[in-house]
Amino acid sequence: MKPSARNQLIDSLLDGDISEADFIRLEAEFSVNPEARKAYYERLALSAMLQTEAGAAPHRIAEFKAPRTRAYLSGVLAMAAAVAALFAVNSLFLHPKKSDLFTHEPTGPAEQKASGFAILSGQSELVWKNRASIASGSLLPTGSLSLQSGLAQIELLSGVSLIVEGEADFEILSSMEMKVTRGKVRARVPEPAHGFRIHTSEGQVVDLGTEFALDVAKEKSEVHVLDGQVEWHPKTEAKQLLSKGEGLRLETNGDKTNIKADDRGFVGVNAMNKKLASNLSARRAEWLHFIEKLRKDPRLVALFHMGPAGSRQLPNESVTGTQIVKEGAVVGASHVADRWGVSGEALDFSATVSRVRMNIPGEYRSVSMFAWVKINSLDRKYNSLFLTDGHDPSEPHWQIMNDGRLFFAVKKRPFPEPKNQYAFYSPSLWNASMSAQWLMLAAVYDVDQRQVTFYLNGQPISQEAIPAEFMVEKVTIGQASLCNWGLPLRDDPEFAIRNFNGSMDEFALFSAALTPSEIKDIYDHGKP
Amino acid sequence: MNAASHESQIVAQLTQIQMPLRLYVQSLLPGEPSAADVSQLTNAKIWEKRAEFTLGTNFKAWAFSIARFEVLNYRKQQARDSRLVFGQELEETFAQELAEENDALERRHVALKQCLGKLRAPDRDLLMHRYASTETLLDYAQKSGRSIGGLKVTLHRLRNALLGCIEKHVGPDLLES
């Protein structure tokens, strides 16, 4: 192919109107000719640079303050790209409809993906005004936020970490800017985020590499520099440099007083972490107390904790169940922190072979199962939660599809007979923005009520009647695995790898249908 | 190493690979108006997974693998049948070569700015409008009342001119170095 003809085809490709025949010609050329690929990269780079040029001009990023760091200044291009990147992330979150990326996302939890450029990384007794609770690990919504009380630990995408103490009114404007109209904020700003600024009604605090605190109240505001330096930019006067140990008090009548910085009024990162840990351990103690009761429930067939670290045999914690199932065996999985942050008490199943093996003899009528999981990503078409080996008639399979839907089925007839099973699906309950969150998933197979119900965090999310022709009144399990599939003998090998890319810290199986209030009770006592 | 320092290094490295990352995503999704969104999603994903990255290992390779996953994800979400996708082997070659590509991108960008200045104003405006838009070329042609054939020829000619001009600017430097 002549270079001129080839370059024309590359432009057609980049313009998005290449014909299939030309695409195939070009692909063949790329495969054999390094010069052709080089021309492709050159024209790709030209497009990207032109996009930057075209996008850098409009006023929309004029107000964006470029951070002053070596990394950002390492090149005009790098800076432009970084600014464009930060801005584009924001604009994407602010205007999800701009692209059709989310077209196929379900409603519900997926909407969280479309909001915010800061993460709520921790919370203590946090109460929001006009807003339900926000799970730790979630992106914070954009727009004004109001705290009634409690402490919020927030991480901005730029690396700034904040502790906001209620009662507070604030807004995260970008990864590098926030506005505070009321409340206490303590900010720690790492090197790449120098230039971070907080707007108040009196002016702006601009960080020059530091830790500082801000207390904004009706009658006065205070700035305390705890480390490094900040610049205070009042609305009317010249800016003022403040160094470690210095502070300012600003009254609404315009009076300004130099004060000594004092961090005692502000909760610091260490204190916050301590608080978080003690909250968690109190909640964990409550759960362990609750579990003691649950263990004696005669309907409980199996209950597995995944810890402690290093254990390869997990005892069945169920008092009656242990006569049927003694233990589970850990294969390939490694120990990680559980949902309370206690290390070694949960298992990570991201290694392809990892699983917990068990043998559960007996026949059951209805069954219920729940698991606490943290999902890294849904890599497979089927991501196993609890699967019997193979899938013979009367055996249950519980897993998550790669689009975030729960799957549950009890085999009616042997594969590959037609209509061998009826699969129940929940709506999609997971998206990538939830990968730091621990979730309680549950499925209830109720023969008497002839229905299957799925639960997320104690709440029913879907319920479906079991069609008469697929009703199985005796469920059997036998050899089974958590988070993987035992012996993929029959199905398409493409789907044979079903390990769950994530962590699990508890799994329970009951020989009965639990009621919604029982599931909720388990969640309420077990949530971290 | 504490978390803040780990994060600042991630930010620095992420900043540095913005352009290669973007080129890689676009090489897999040529002519796809949403390619820029996919690279932004990749950035968000990298940030989300930052704790999993071991400093000192190859950040670019790690980031590219996340980018590839995001691209596959994006393709999956697009229910179009008539999608044109390169073979996996070729896509892997793109990843390797673009990760090594260090062809004075910054200098080329500076040169591009100068070269844009040499274009006739209507030509420059056309390029700026076209590249600020996320519409397909056909939609763009219809909205701006041009024939798609004429538009394609003009854009192709302008790109050739710009690439030639950039070569001239960065050429001598390359000889000296």
3-state secondary structure A311-333: CCEEECCCCCHHHCCCEEEEECC
Residues of B in contact with A78 (CB under 8 A): 15-16, 18-19, 106
Element (H, E) at A162: strand A161-174
Residue B83 has a pLDDT of 65
What is the separation, in whole angstroms, between the first and last Cα of chain A? 63
A192 to chain B nearest CA, in Å?
A: 6
Partner-chain residue, chosen from A17, A105, A377, that has the shortest CB–CB distance to B137: A17
Structure tokens that stand for A24 in this block: 């195939």
Q: Which residues of A touch B6 (CB under 8 A)?
A: none
Query: What is the β-pairing status of strands A203-216 and A240-243?
Result: unpaired
Is residue A166 within a helix (H) or strand (E), and if so which, with residue range?
Answer: strand A161-174
Residue among A15, A188, A415, A276 nearest B7 (CA)? A188
Q: Which residues pair with A497 in a beta bridge?
A: none
Reported ipTM: 0.91
Q: Are A422 and A467 in contact (CB under 8 A)?
A: yes
DSSP H helical ranges for A231-319: 269-295
Residues 6+ apart with CB under 8 A from B103: none
Higher pLDDT residue, A26 or A107?
Answer: A26
Place of tokens 């313009």: A15
pLDDT at position A403, please? 87
* pLDDT surpasses 80 at B42: yes
The two beta strands, A382-388 and A197-199, are unpaired
**More reliable by pLDDT, B176 or B9:** B9
A77 contacts on B by Cβ (under 8 Å):
19, 105-106, 109-110
Query: H or E segment at B26?
Result: helix B18-28
Percentage of chain B beyond pLDDT 90 is 16
Which of A401, A358, A397 lies closest to A475, judged by CA?
A: A397
- Whole-number pLDDT of residue A346: 95
State mean pLDDT over B168-175: 58
Show which of residues 125-164 on chain B sit within 8 Å of chain A, judged by CB atoms.
127-132, 134, 136-138, 148, 152, 155-156, 159-160, 162-163
- pLDDT confidence of residue A406: 95
Rounded Cα–Cα distance for residues A195 and A207 (Å):
5
Backbone φ, ψ for residue A214 (5° rounding): -135, 135
Asked if A414 and A379 touch (Cβ cutoff 8 Å), the reply is no
pLDDT for position A439: 95
Here the tokens at position B78 are 């697009």
The predicted model gives A416-435 an average pLDDT of 85
Residue A114's pLDDT band (cuts 50, 70, 90) = very low
Question: Count of CB atoms within 10 A of residue A291's CB?
Answer: 17
Residue A428 has phi, psi (to 5 degrees) of -65, 130
- The residues, any chain, with a CB within 8 Å of residue A59's CB and separated by 6 or more, are none
**Which B residues, 26 through 55, put their C-beta within 8 Å of a C-beta on chain A?**
26-27, 30-34, 36-38, 40-41, 43-45, 47-49
Task: Show the CA angle centred on residue A267, arms to residues A261 and A270, nearest 5°.
Answer: 110
Q: Strands A220-234 and A246-251, how do they pair?
A: antiparallel
pLDDT in tens, A64-101: 223 333 333 333 333 334 444 443 433 333 332 222 22
Q: Are B134 and B33 in contact (CB under 8 A)?
A: yes
Closest listed residue to residue A456, CA positions, set A484, A480, A431, A473: A431
If you search the block for the tokens 């199932």, which residue do you land on?
A325
* CA pair distance A319, A445, nearest whole angstrom: 23
Mean pLDDT is highest, among A48-62, A98-112, A370-384, B161-175, for: A370-384
The answer for residues whose C-beta is within 8 angstroms of residue A65's C-beta and 6 or more apart is A176, A177, A195, A197
Encode pLDDT of A244-287 as tens digits: 999 999 887 778 889 999 988 898 878 888 888 888 888 888 89
Q: Are strands A313-315 and A451-456 parallel, antiparallel or unpaired?
A: unpaired
B12/A71 CB distance under 8 A: yes
Sequence-ordered list of residues with C-beta below 8 angstroms from that of A327, at least 6 positions apart, any chain? A313, A314, A315, A316, A358
Average of per-residue pLDDT across A9-13: 93
How high is the pLDDT of residue B4? 65
Alpha helix positions (H), A124-263: none
Torsion angles phi and psi, residue A101, rounded to 5: -55, -35
* Residue A438 near residue A458, CB atoms below 8 Å: no
Structure tokens at A385: 């939660």
Strand order from edge to edge, sheet including A396-401: A313-315, A327-331, A355-364, A475-482, A382-388, A396-401, A405-410, A424-428
Both tokens assigned to B55:
């400093």
Q: Chain A contacts of B18, Cβ < 8 Å?
A: 78, 81-82, 84-85
Q: Give per-residue pLDDT as tens, A306-350.
A: 988 888 999 999 999 999 999 999 988 999 999 988 889 999 999
- Residue B173 in tokens: 């430097």
Give which of A287, A346, A281 is closest to A523, Cα–Cα: A287
Q: Residue B100 — very low, low, confident or very high, per pLDDT cuts 50/70/90?
A: confident
> pLDDT > 70: what percent of chain A?
86
CA A19/CA B74 separation, integer angstroms = 22
Buried b (16+ CB within 10 A) or exposed e, A47-76: bbbbbbbbbeeeeebeebeebebebbeebe
pLDDT of A24 reads 87
What is the token pair recorded at B90? Answer: 């070729």
More confident: A239 or B135: A239
Residue A61 has pLDDT above 70, yes or no: no
How much is the pLDDT for B160? 94
A222-240: pLDDT as tens digits: 999 999 999 998 877 788 8
